Structure 1
Amino acid sequence: MPTPIKMPALSPTMEEGTLARWLVKEGDTVSSGDIMAEIETDKATMEFEAVDEGVIVSIDVAEGTEGVQVGTVIATLAEEGEDPAEAKAAPVKEPQAETKTEKAEPAKAAPAAAAPTPAKAPEPKGDRIVASPLAKRIAEQNGVDLSGITGSGPNGRIVKADVEGAKPASSAVTAPAATPSAPVQTDLPDFDIPHEDDKLNNVRKVIARRLTEAKQTIPHIYLTVDVRLDALLDLRKQLNASLEAQDIKLSVNDLLIKALAKSLAMVPQCNVSFGGDILRTYTRQDISVAVAAPSGLITPIIKDAGNKTVSQISSEMTELAGKARDGKLQPQEYQGGTASLSNLGMFGTKQFDAVINPPQAMILAVGAGEQRPHIVDGALSVATVMSATGSFDHRAIDGVDGAKLMAAFKGLVESPFGLVA
C-alpha cells in the first residue's frame, strides 16, 4: 500500500510551515537520505530528507503553500515493488506507530458492524498520561486535568476532540495566562506614499512575536562598560600569525565569544534562566551568536565555549555562520544556549541595547572599536575603545551580579592572555 509523507516538525516549536520548494516530482524514485523539499519553519529554511525508498506517486501540497500544519500529508510514496498507478488509486497506509513529528489528531476508525467497544482509559507509561502533543497543549491552555479524561484515540490515547469538550479542573486550579502575542496590524494606511508590501516569512513572524513577548514579559536592566581593545587586537595579530599555516583566521568576535563564556564561568549567577518558581543555573557556557541570514536573524550556538580554544571557536563559528546564511542549520545547532552575543560593530554602530532571547537571562551587545580620547595612568591618550552593553533579566539577575559580569568581561578583554591560558 502507498505510504503518506507528512509535514514534519523540524523544530520543537514548529506547528506549521511553508512548503517552499519541491526538489522531486511525481514519478521520481527516491532513496533514504535524498533531499525531497525545502521547508520554511519558524526558525529557518531547512531541507527535508526522504526516510523510505520508493516512487513519488502524488504531490499533495503545492510548493509555495503557507501554513501547512505538521502532520498534513504532503506527498504519497509507492513502496518498492508496487505499481505506481495502482498505488496512486489505493488507500493510503497510515503508519502504525506514533512518530515524534506527529501533531495532528489521529484519524478515527470507521464504525464496525458490531457494537463498538467503549474506549478504554489512557494506559499510563510510568506516571505519564498518553496524549497527543496538541491535546496536551489545549489542556494546559484551558486548565483541563488530563487524568480525568477517557481517550478515544488508539490504545486510549487522548486526542484533541477529547480535550476540547472537557471542563476545566476545579476553580482552585487557574489556567496559565496566555502569553501576549505580537499585535497584528492588518490595515496599514498608505497616505498616498509609493510603496511595496512584502509578505512576512515564518522566520520574521516568529522574530516579531518573540521579541514583543520578551519586551512585554521580561524586566530588562541595561549595564554598559567601555573596554579598551588595543591589547586584544595585538593578541589577535600574534595568534593569527601563528595559525596561518592551519588556515585559521581569528576574528575579534571569536575572542569576544570566549571572553563572554569565561566571564559567565567567573560569575555563574548570570548564567541562568528564570522559570517562574525556579532559577536554573547552568554549569556550561553555551553562547548563542546572532547571525544575519536572508530569512532573518538566527543564533547558532557555540557549545561549551568556556572550555574551547579560540581557534576551535573560530572554526565552529565560520561553519555555523555559513550554514545559517544558506539556511542549512539543524535544530540542535541553534536551539538552546545559556547566553547570547550580538555584535554590530562591523556596521559602525557605537552602542546599542539588545533584547533578551528567552529562556536565556542575558545578552551582550557590542559596538564598534574606535579611536577615542582615554585616560591611561593619569594621562590623556588615544586608545581603541569599544562600548559593550549587557541586557539582564532583572527577575533572575541582580544589578550587582550583572555589574560583576561586565567587569569580568572588561578585565578579560583588556588583559586578554587569560583567554588563551
Structure 2
Amino acid sequence: MPIAIKMPALSPTMEEGTLAKWLVKPGDTVRSGDIMAEIETDKATMEFEAVDEGVLASIAVEEGSEGVKVGTVIAMLAEEGEDVDAVAKADAPAVSPDKGKDTPAASTGSEPADGDAEASDEQSGAEPEPKPASEAAPKPSGDRIIASPLAKRIAEQQGIDLVGVTGSGPNGRIVKADVESAQADTAAPAKPRDEATAEMAPPRTPSKTPAESEYGAPYEEEKLSSVRKIIARRLTESKQQVPHYYLAVDVRLDALLDLRKQLNAGLEADGIKLSVNDLLIKALARALMRVPQCNVSFQGETIHKYSRADVSVAVAAPSGLITPIVTEADTRGLASISTTMKALAEKAREGKLQPHEYQGGTASLSNLGMFGIKQFDAVINPPQGMIMAVGAGEPRPYVVDGALQIATVMTASGSFDHRAIDGADGAQLMEAFKTLCENPMGLVV
C-alpha cells in the first residue's frame, strides 16, 4: 500500500516550515533512518529522517516551498513489490485552482494538486509531452497565472511574460516545456510578480533589478525566512504583551579578568580557553539561585519556579538570532560551560541545533560587548521572566575604596517581566550578579 510522507512536526511549537532541500529523488530506494530532506523550522534547519522503507515514487512539494503546514503530504513512497509508476499517479487529492489561498495546496506554498504529476516529472528530469494548443484547457480568468514553480522561475530568468504562453498542463497550467518553447526575444518584458507568484519565490532571494521606493531610494526586496518571521512575531508579542521594566548596574571587571587569566593558564594544556562570556553565564546562573524569585516564568494563571538555572545565550546565526541553552549552568564547572557553549554556538551558526538545545531556558543572557556597545536593553524571550544584557568592559573613572581610580567597568541591564518579578526582586538579582562578577571566586566553588 502506498505510503504518504507528510510534513513532520520537528518541534513542539512547529505549525509550518520550509522544505529547504530534497536529498532524494523519485526512483531512489529509501530505508528507515535515511535523511530524506532538510526542513527549515521556526528556529533551525533540521534533517528529516525516513521512518518507512520503499521507493520514492513522487515528490508533491518542491524544495524551496515556504509555509508548508504540518501534516501536508510532501511525497509518496511505494512499498516493496508495488508499481512505482502507479503510486506516482495516485498522489494527494486534487484541489481545484479556483479555491484560492484557503486550500491546503495554497497554504503550503505550492500550486493546486492538479499539477502534482507535472511537478513530479520536473523533479525527476522527465518532461511532460506538450499537448496541441487546441487541446489545452483555457487559462483561468483573473490576474493569477496558473504555472508550475519551475516554469515561473525559468520565465523570470529568461524575461518571458507568462501572459503570452499557452499552458499544456492540467486545467491550462503552464509547465516547463511551455516556457522553454516560448521565444524569449519576442516576449514582452516580464511583469512585476503579483502576490501569487511572489509566494512561490525561493526563500531570501533578492529581486534582479533594484526597485525604487516612493521616496526615490533604490532597494532590493528580500523575503523573510521562517526563522526571521518567528523572531518578528515573538518579539512583537513580547513588547506588546509583557510589561517590561529595566534595571542597570555598573560592574567592575578587573578581578574577573584576572581570574580568567589565571584559569586559562591552568587550562591551556587541555585546549580550553575561557571567555568573559563563559564567566558571565556562570554569574547569572548563580545569581538566579541566590535570588530564586527571579528564576521564574509567567504562565498565565500560574508562575513556574525553577530549581536550577538553564541559561539561554543569544547567538547571531545567518538565519537570525537564536538562543541555545546551557543547562544546569549553576552547577556546571567553567570548563564545561565553555566547551558546551562553543559547541552550541557552532551548531547554531550551521543551523543544526536540535529542539531540546534551544527550547526552554529559565533566563537569558545577551552580550553585545564585542561590538563596542556600552549599554542596551534586551527584549524578554517569553515565557522567561528576565534577560540580562551586557555591554563592553572598558576603562572608566571608578571610585575604589573611597578614591577615584581607572577601572575596567561593564554596564549590565536586566529586563524583567513585571507580571512575575517585582522591582525589589529584580534589584536583588542585579546586586547578586554584580557581587559575583566583582568577587569571582564564588564562580569556581
Q: TM-score range by the shorter chain?
A: 0.7 to 0.9
Return the offset for 1:260: 0.3
Q: Deviations over 1:180-216 (max 9, x none)?
A: xxxxxxxx95311111110111111111111111111
For the residues of structure 2 that align with 1:65 and 1:275, how far apart are their CA atoms?
34
Q: What letter corresponds to residue 210 of structure 1 in structure 2?
A: R
Secondary structure of the 1:306 match is coil
Q: How does 1:123-138 map to 2 (within 5 A)?
A: none
Structure 1: 5+ residue runs without aligned partners? 93-103, 105-187
Q: How does 1:101-250 map to 2 (within 5 A)?
A: 190-250=214-274
Match of 1:385 among 409, 423, 427: 409
Return the offset for 1:83: 4.0
Q: How does 1:25-36 map to 2 (within 5 A)?
A: 25-36=25-36
Is it true that 1:37 corresponds to 2:37 in the alignment? yes
Larger Rg belongs to = 2
Does the 8 Å CA contact 2:245/2:418 hold for their aligned counterparts? yes
For the residues of structure 1 that align with 2:343 and 2:300, how far apart are their CA atoms?
36
Structure 2 counterpart of 1:315: 339
For the residues of structure 2 that align with 1:278 and 1:90, how far apart are their CA atoms?
50
Does the 8 Å CA contact 2:76/2:91 hold for their aligned counterparts? no
Q: Which has the higher helix share?
A: 2
- The count of residues paired between Structure 1 and Structure 2 equals 329
Q: What letter corresponds to residue 337 of structure 1 in structure 2?
A: G
Secondary structure of the 1:412 match is helix
Secondary structure of the 2:63 match is coil
Structure 2 counterpart of 1:341: 365
Structure 2 counterpart of 1:126: none
Does the 8 Å CA contact 1:274/1:396 hold for their aligned counterparts? yes
Does the 8 Å CA contact 1:2/1:91 hold for their aligned counterparts? no
Structure 2 counterpart of 1:55: 55
Structure 2 counterpart of 1:358: 382
Q: What letter corresponds to residue 354 of structure 2 in structure 1?
A: Q
Q: What letter corresponds to residue 374 of structure 2 in structure 1?
A: K
Q: Deviations over 1:323-368 (max 9, x none)?
A: 1000001111100110000000011110000000000010000000
Moved over 4 A (4+): 89-92
Q: What letter corresponds to residue 387 of structure 2 in structure 1?
A: I
For the residues of structure 2 that align with 1:33 and 1:321, how far apart are their CA atoms?
26
Structure 1 counterpart of 2:20: 20
For the residues of structure 1 that align with 2:442 and 2:225, how far apart are their CA atoms?
43
Q: Deviations over 1:106-132 (max 9, x none)?
A: xxxxxxxxxxxxxxxxxxxxxxxxxxx
For the residues of structure 1 that align with 2:215 and 2:351, how far apart are their CA atoms?
37
Residues 39 and 192 of structure 1: CA distance in aligned 2, closer, same or farther (over 3 Å): same
Return the offset for 1:223: 0.4
For the residues of structure 2 that align with 1:39 and 1:190, how far apart are their CA atoms?
36
Structure 2: 5+ residue runs without aligned partners? 93-103, 105-211
Return the offset for 1:378: 1.3
Structure 1 counterpart of 2:355: 331
Is it true that 1:272 corresponds to 2:321 in the alignment? no
Q: Deviations over 1:259-278 (max 9, x none)?
A: 00000000001001122332
For the residues of structure 2 that align with 1:64 and 1:321, how far apart are their CA atoms?
26
Does the 8 Å CA contact 1:343/1:367 hold for their aligned counterparts? yes
Does the 8 Å CA contact 2:213/2:219 hold for their aligned counterparts? no
For the residues of structure 1 that align with 2:91 and 2:286, how far apart are their CA atoms?
59
For the residues of structure 1 that align with 2:30 and 2:277, how far apart are their CA atoms?
42
For the residues of structure 2 that align with 1:402 and 1:331, how far apart are their CA atoms?
29
Structure 2 counterpart of 1:73: 73
Q: What letter corresponds to residue 293 of structure 2 in structure 1?
A: Q
Does the 8 Å CA contact 1:17/1:202 hold for their aligned counterparts? yes
Q: What letter corresponds to residue 413 of structure 1 in structure 2?
A: C
Identity of aligned residues (%): 73
Secondary structure of the 2:411 match is strand
**Structure 2 length normalisation: TM-score?**
0.71
Secondary structure of the 2:382 match is coil
Does the 8 Å CA contact 1:2/1:88 hold for their aligned counterparts? no
Q: Deviations over 1:24-54 (max 9, x none)?
A: 1111122222221111111222111112222
For the residues of structure 2 that align with 1:214 and 1:87, how far apart are their CA atoms?
47
Does the 8 Å CA contact 2:282/2:330 hold for their aligned counterparts? yes
Q: How does 1:298-309 map to 2 (within 5 A)?
A: 298-309=322-333
For the residues of structure 2 that align with 1:238 and 1:252, how far apart are their CA atoms?
13
Structure 2 counterpart of 1:2: 2
Secondary structure of the 2:218 match is coil
Does the 8 Å CA contact 1:288/1:339 hold for their aligned counterparts? yes
Return the offset for 1:10: 1.1
**Coordinate RMSD, CA, aligned:** 1.8
Q: What letter corresponds to residue 378 of structure 2 in structure 1?
A: A
**Structure 1 length normalisation: TM-score?**
0.75
For the residues of structure 2 that align with 1:91 and 1:208, how far apart are their CA atoms?
36
Between 1:324-333 and 1:47-56, the stretch displaced more is: 47-56
For the residues of structure 2 that align with 1:37 and 1:272, how far apart are their CA atoms?
38
Does the 8 Å CA contact 1:35/1:50 hold for their aligned counterparts? yes
Q: What letter corresponds to residue 443 of structure 2 in structure 1?
A: L
Does the 8 Å CA contact 1:369/1:384 hold for their aligned counterparts? yes
Q: Deviations over 1:68-109 (max 9, x none)?
A: 1110110111223434234434578xxxxxxxxxxx9xxxxx
For the residues of structure 2 that align with 1:17 and 1:196, how far apart are their CA atoms?
24
Structure 2 counterpart of 1:107: none
Does the 8 Å CA contact 2:311/2:365 hold for their aligned counterparts? yes
